[in-house]
Amino acid sequence: MTFGSCDNLTERERDVLLCLAEGESNRQIARSLDIAPATARSHTRNVLTKLGVQSRILAIASTRPVQVPALESKSLISSLTRREREVLGCMVEGLTRAMIAARLKVSPNTVRTHVRNILAKLRVHSTPEAVALVAKTTYSPDAMRSTPQ
């Protein structure tokens, strides 16, 4: 998968991308940057277009983390079962629930259950927040699959 470069983003779009990497919604981005929600949506669409991706998750996955990983985040991720780490790795890759189900040869309902458990254990409310947490801890999707438990 090839992604666009962050070099062609405006300063405001880079700010929006940083907010996306934190797992913020458009409403939260608008509050953080003191702009209208419609403006935040517009900037988010521009970021996705310029990066050549179709989802927030892929935008987050296409950027590199710049923070030192938090120990608490690592311990939260290590609390996941092997299968939950596999599902989380797929989430980081930007796969939909249906794609995850096909890859792992389970039903979409099973994936939904795993995602719910992952979000609860990571203390986040959405898939983008979970992906942002993983990005901060510098885990790779391959590390998600190979970590024993």
Q: Give the helix, strand, coil percentages of the chain, each rounded to 5.
A: 70, 0, 30
User: In the chain, which residues have pLDDT < 50?
Assistant: 1-3, 65-71, 139-141, 143-149
Q: What is the pTM of this model?
A: 0.59
Q: 32 vs 14, 56, 61, 100, 143, CA distance in Å?
A: 13, 17, 22, 33, 32
Q: Which domains does the chain have, with CATH numbers?
A: 9-62 (1.10.10.10), 71-146 (1.10.10.10)
How far from chain centre, in Å, is Cα 61?
Answer: 6
pLDDT of residue 57: 79
Report d(CA 122, CA 100) in Å as an integer: 19
Q: What is the pLDDT of residues 89-120, one digit of tens each?
A: 899 888 889 999 999 999 999 999 999 999 99
